[in-house]
Chains A and B, each alone.
Chain A
């Protein structure tokens, strides 16, 4: 479904991504794990068109999307829950969700999906008219996920959805990711919380300073000694 080949990204002189290749098949949950600064966010930004890679090839549903603007890529069905949530703080919860469906023409879908998001995240329902900037961090994360779902994605890129959340909320967010996947949304998940990420993933790639150093099924990586040492806290 998503295919990245020989991707290179530079920030000025910094070579942040050094020729990585990977793919995500339809229906999978695939994790990209790696330490701070490994290049996970940079990879996701390159895929969704927020930054221009220096070279490489990216295709989504057999269509080359390299060089397309982010709004076009989103309209193809590739959603992105960005790092740090980036909800629109000066707009209400409801307005944020409506903007999530900005590109969707099907009014019935918008209505149904809105109701479904409210059921997935009852806290958002209670805070419909509240400005997003006044939500707690966890609520903003729910809003960011709900907002992406409103855009009718076939695939979701999720950048550290568990960041800064209490353990109980982390569990909840991960079970919702799993649920979205069961509903047919393919997922590429970036996480610091490798344990949790691997536990819901089919496969994973390990990224180290801009290179993929390991890939396997999530099950095998959970048992891998070096991965355990580096990312699973021993």
Chain B
């Protein structure tokens, strides 16, 4: 029974990683950059919820909606202000800028809220369910449900709508996509908006499950989500989903059965192993070009 509960914990954590990994992977696919500030968006989302519920007295639903709005706008603004001017710069310049943006967000949070972690009440008000001796918390149920729905909608959006297909086209060949009349800047903005929206969702689920926020709340989950994206194959949407879920399960099971201290080492060990045998990640492609 314990193993099943740990497995569900893993799914819960993995869902959050997966939602964040989607942001990494989509931005990488479309803008060809690693947005290391992505993890900190969930921190901003978590603080927004904290302020909205305690200081503004908003209802949980409104708080979450406000957090989604704040994160989405923030993601788009960061892209416009920090990354867009660097469209022609070397990848290293962009990477360093992204790390800078990440520190900036953390420092601003530190200035406003201080370094002490704040308790945040769960925005999820769903009763736990017990099935055959296994108890699912309301948070787990909502996390899994929301993640499944979002993933289905996202896959449908990308593969079935005109705008989604334009995103696929830009990610495969930016120049050729422009020749189709696709506006690359708008596509990149949209990608940042979607990624940051998903981070807001992840942030809401994260604070609800773990109950606290501090300026570094996003840092470690951000790195884990990045690992998840690479594990699944960076640039691949299904890969990010798979990578996130797998990572959550591995982390949870190794904490329960091997060692809490070693769990991160095991996570990174799995990444290295996978990359040794499949450098492009589990679902990443090695492209064959026809000449």
Contacts and interface: CB of A to CB of B under 8 A. Distances in A.
A binds B: yes
B116 interface: no
Which residue of B169, B178, B182, B184 has the most chain A CB atoms within 10 A of its CB atom?
A: B178
Interface string B15-42: 0000000000000000000000000000
A54 interface: no
Contacts of A102: 162, 166, 180-182
Interface string B173-190: 101111111111100000
A88 interface: yes
B287 A89 contact: yes
Given A86-B176, A98-B162, A91 B183 contact: no
Contacts of A164: 291
Given A69-B183, A88-B172, A88-B176, 13 more contacts: A71-B178, A71-B179, A71-B182, A74-B178, A74-B179, A84-B291, A88-B173, A89-B287, A91-B168, A100-B180, A102-B166, A133-B288, A164-B291
A137 B289 CA distance: 10
A99 B169 contact: yes
A137 B185 CA distance: 31
B168 A50 contact: no
Contacts of B287: 89
A50 B165 contact: no
Nearest to A137: B290
B168 A103 contact: no
Nearest to B184: A71
Contacts, number: 78
A71 B172 contact: no
Interface residues of A, number: 32
Contacts of A79: 179
A102 B169 CA distance: 11
Contacts of B176: 82, 86-88
B169 A91 contact: yes
A71 B165 contact: no
Sorted nearest first, the 9 A-B pairs with minimum C-beta distance are A103-B181, A70-B178, A86-B176, A74-B181, A102-B180, A71-B178, A80-B179, A71-B183, A71-B181
A53 interface: no
B179 A88 contact: no
A71 B169 CA distance: 13
B178 A88 contact: no
B80 to A, nearest CB: 16
B169 A50 contact: no
A226 B166 CA distance: 46
Interface string A63-98: 000000111001100011010101111110001001
Nearest to A150: B180
A162 interface: no
A48 B175 CA distance: 10
23 contacts: A69-B183, A69-B185, A70-B175, A71-B181, A71-B182, A71-B183, A79-B179, A82-B175, A86-B175, A88-B169, A88-B173, A90-B172, A91-B165, A91-B169, A95-B165, A102-B166, A102-B180, A103-B180, A103-B182, A133-B290, A137-B290, A147-B180, A151-B180
Contacts of A46: none
Which residue of A90, A100, A148 has the most chain B CB atoms within 10 A of its CB atom?
A: A90
Interface in B258-291: 285, 287-288, 290-291
Contacts of A151: 180-181
A87 B176 CA distance: 8
Given A88-B173, A98-B162, A102-B162, A48 B168 contact: no
Nearest to B166: A102
Contact of B175 (A50, A75, A133): A50
A148 B168 CA distance: 18
A27 interface: no
A82 B165 contact: no
Interface in A125-142: 133, 136-137, 140
B179 A48 contact: yes
Given A88-B173, A89-B287, A140-B290, A98 B165 contact: yes
A49 interface: yes
Interface in B27-76: none
A96 to B, nearest CB: 9
A70 B179 CA distance: 6
Which residue of A82, A88, A91, A140 has the most chain B CB atoms within 10 A of its CB atom?
A: A88
Nearest to B179: A80
A88 B171 CA distance: 10
A49 B184 CA distance: 13
Nearest to B176: A86
Interface in A157-206: 164
